[in-house]
Amino acid sequence: MKLSTALRRGAWCILGVAVVRMGLAAFAGKLGSAGVAVAMRGYTRGAEGFFPALFSVLGESPAAVAGIATLLTTALILGTLANVITVGGVLAHLRAPGSIGAFVNHAIRWAPAMLTSAIWVSVLRLLLAIPCALVGAGMGRSAGFLVGAALWALTMPIHDHARAMIVDGRATRRYGPRPLLAALAQSRRRLLPLTLGAVAWIGTIACSLGAAAVGLAFADHAASAWAIRGLGLFAVTLTVLRISLAVDED
C-alpha cells in the first residue's frame, strides 16, 4: 500500500488507537495514584519533585512496591488485549474503508484469529531464541542480544503479513500456523516491506524509550506530559504504517 493511501485511510485509526491507549494509561495512572496515596497516608510530595518522593515511598512501603508491580502487569495485559482486539479492524479498514460500525464489527470478528496468530508467532520467537543462545554462547551476550533483537524485529512484519492474509481471506485455516508459515515462506520475495516494517517497529521502541527518558528527566515540567503523548501518537502512527505494508488495497 502506498504511503499516501495508508495515511489517508489510517488517519482516524491512528487517532482512535491513540485515544484507546491514552484511556488505558489514564486508568492505570489512577490505579497507581490511588495505591501510592494509600502508602503515603495523606502526605503529599515535597519540593524535591515527584520521582524522588515516589522512590522514597517505594523504599519504605512494600505494599506500594507490590501495587506498582501489579499496576505495570495490568497495564501490559490491557495493552496487549487492546492490540489484539483492534488490529483486525485496522487491517480491514486499511484494505477497504468503512464506517465505525464496520470497524468494530471487523475487530470483534477477527479477534479470535488475531489472538491465535499472536500465540503462533510467540512460538516462533521461542524457537528463534535457540540460535540467539548459540550466538551468545559463542560470541558473547552482546552479540546474542543484537541477533535476538534483529530477529524479533523481522518477525513483526512477518506477523503483520500473516494477519493481513487472514483478514482478506487469502489464508486457509486461520486458527492454525499455516498463515504464519506462508508469510514466513513469502518473506524472501518481500524484502523491502520486511525491512521497512522492522525499521518501523524499532522506531516504536525508540519512541517508548524516549517517552520514559523524558518522564524521568523532566518529571516536574508541564510540557513533558505533552511530549510523552506526542511520542505515543508517533509510535501509533508508525504501527499503523507498518501494518499497512502488509495490506493489499481493495
- Contact call for residues 108 and 129 (beta carbons, < 8 A): no
pLDDT of residue 203: 94
In angstroms, rounded to a whole number, what is the distance separating the alpha carbons of residues 94 and 82?
18
In a domain? residue 153:
yes
- Contact call for residues 180 and 117 (beta carbons, < 8 A): yes
In a domain? residue 47:
no
Mean pLDDT of the chain: 82
In a domain? residue 92:
yes
Residue 248: half-sphere exposure toward Cβ, Cα within 13 Å: 11
| pLDDT > 90: percent of the chain | 27
pLDDT of residue 122: 93
Tens digit of each residue's pLDDT (9 = 90 or more) over 214-245: 877 776 676 777 888 888 889 889 999 999 99
Residue 51 has pLDDT above 70, yes or no: no
- Contact call for residues 127 and 215 (beta carbons, < 8 A): no
User: Distance between terminal CA atoms of the chain?
Assistant: 10
* Higher-pLDDT residue of 31, 197: 197
pLDDT, mean of residues 100-114: 90
Q: pTM for the complete prediction?
A: 0.81
Confidence of residue 83 (pLDDT cuts 50, 70, 90): confident
Residue that the C-alpha cell 495512572 belongs to: 29
Specify the DSSP class assigned to residue 187: G
* Higher-pLDDT residue of 75, 64: 75
* Higher-pLDDT residue of 24, 125: 125
Residue 155 has pLDDT above 80, yes or no: yes
In a domain? residue 157:
yes
In a domain? residue 85:
yes
Residue 141 has pLDDT above 70, yes or no: yes
Residue 61 has pLDDT above 70, yes or no: no
Tens digit of each residue's pLDDT (9 = 90 or more) over 23-49: 777 776 676 666 666 666 655 555 555
In a domain? residue 176:
yes
In a domain? residue 43:
no
In a domain? residue 46:
no
Number of folded domains that form the chain: 1
pLDDT of residue 16: 80
Q: Which domain holds residue 233?
A: 3-38+52-249
